[in-house]
Amino acid sequence: MDVFTKAYKAFYKSRRWTGTILATALAAKNGVPHLFPTHGFMPFHASFMGSQFPLDHMVLLLKSTKAELGVTDPVLPFVTTRADVVSAGFSAFSKIKPPSSIGIPKNYFCSNIFELDDLNITVGTNEKKLTTYGPSERMLLESLILSESAQKFAIARHIAYLKQNWAILQSFLPSFFVALGYVACFYGPRLLFSGTSPVFILTIVRYTIACIFITWVACKLAKAMLTHKIVNSVDRKAAMISKEYAEGGIEYYEKLCSRNKANRALLGKKGEKMFTVFGNQVDGLLVNWNGPTLTERISNIKNISKSF
């Protein structure tokens, strides 16, 4: 018990440093991906090298989408190695921060599945190269070919995300719960046990562990709720631009479902653990931690499309 007591006292003495370091580390971990894309990407100037990834196509997609959303903040395009659009940055403090950036997938420069062959697309940890012969492989390749309206919808989602400054909330939400947990763990006992008979150190430790667990669960739930809010907000913002964007959104998510179904078949048992038969990502039993399912998103955009 003496060793246990000494350990808790040492933890209590370093509580400020522990809380500060943890809050800072979480802010950096959650903030950096929204400011600097961690996905591998081709440098912006590389778009001038050859006609495979023409700069004018990226600029046209980005400019037209920005204009229809009424966004004037500078956004730099680059070519990403991911199969989906990626972005980093936010619109706040635009005069003192670097411009936001949006990554255009390489497959957006292809108009048919045969052009995708030059991208050397692989699946799984064994990096099996895709061909057009198998039905699942063909389904996956076809899911990577999007119409211009679907491409513009995907880009519009990210522009709306940047414009609404969601990255700031995502960056600092975990740090807020660290501060909340700190107050609950170290100031709560003073309020609960003040004026009573002496309290055993084990009681305080149990209380601290309970506070840490409850704060962690609350943070997870808050992040899930924020993810739902962000996805629904940017989807609605993009789909409300016009009927063309709404139809592009339906196509975008239906192709994403097809891609997940193909991956489910190609990856075998691993794929069954990752994706459902409907193409949704396997998520929690009670809470969808990763936001609304793809089928829910399609349903929401179809309702918006009917309003035009």
User: Average of pLDDT values for 227-250?
Assistant: 94
pLDDT tens readout for residues 265-298: 888 888 888 899 999 988 877 778 888 999 999 9
> What's the whole-model pTM score?
0.83
Residue 55 pLDDT grade (very low, low, confident, very high; cuts 50, 70, 90): low
What's the rounded Cα separation, in Å, for the pair 65 and 61? Answer: 6
Q: What are phi and psi of 80, to 5 degrees?
A: -100, 155
- Classify burial at 250, counting beta carbons within 10 Å of its beta carbon; exposed 0-12, middle 13-18, buried 19 or more: buried
Calculate what percentage of the chain has a pLDDT beyond 90: 26
C-alpha angle 158-170-23 in degrees, rounded to nearest 5:
150
pLDDT tens readout for residues 126-148: 656 666 668 888 888 889 999 99
Quote the mean pLDDT of the chain: 81
Tokens of 67: 């204009």
Any bridge partners for residue 103, and if so which? 78, 86
What Rg do the C-alpha atoms of the chain give, in angstroms?
24
Strand order in the sheet with 75-80: 41-42, 75-80, 100-105, 86-88
Question: Where is average pLDDT lowest: 89-98, 108-117, 122-131?
Answer: 122-131
User: Average of pLDDT values for 77-88?
Assistant: 83
153: Cα separation from own chain's centroid: 16
Q: Report strand pairing: 122-123 vs 100-105.
A: unpaired
Residue 153 pLDDT grade (very low, low, confident, very high; cuts 50, 70, 90): very high
Question: Where is average pLDDT lowest: 1-10, 68-77, 265-274?
Answer: 1-10
Q: For residue 302, is pLDDT > 70?
A: yes
Higher pLDDT, 231 or 48: 231
Q: For residue 115, is pLDDT > 70?
A: yes
Show the 3-state SS of 224-249. HHHHHHHHHHHHHHHHCCCHHHHHHH
Give the per-residue pLDDT at 130.
66
Q: For residue 47, is pLDDT > 50?
A: no
The number of CA neighbours under 13 Å toward the Cβ of 238 is 33
Give the per-residue pLDDT at 156.
94
DSSP class of residue 52?
Answer: S
Distances in Å between the Cα of 14 and the Cα atoms of 9, 53, 206, 303 are 9, 53, 19, 54
pLDDT tens readout for residues 190-223: 776 666 666 677 777 778 888 889 999 999 999 9
Residue 177 pLDDT grade (very low, low, confident, very high; cuts 50, 70, 90): confident
Tokens of 35: 């400011």
Any bridge partners for residue 100, and if so which? 75
What's the rounded Cα separation, in Å, for the pair 93 and 128? Answer: 45
282, 273 contact by CB (below 8 A): yes
DSSP result, 281-300: BP--SS--TT-S-HHHHHHH
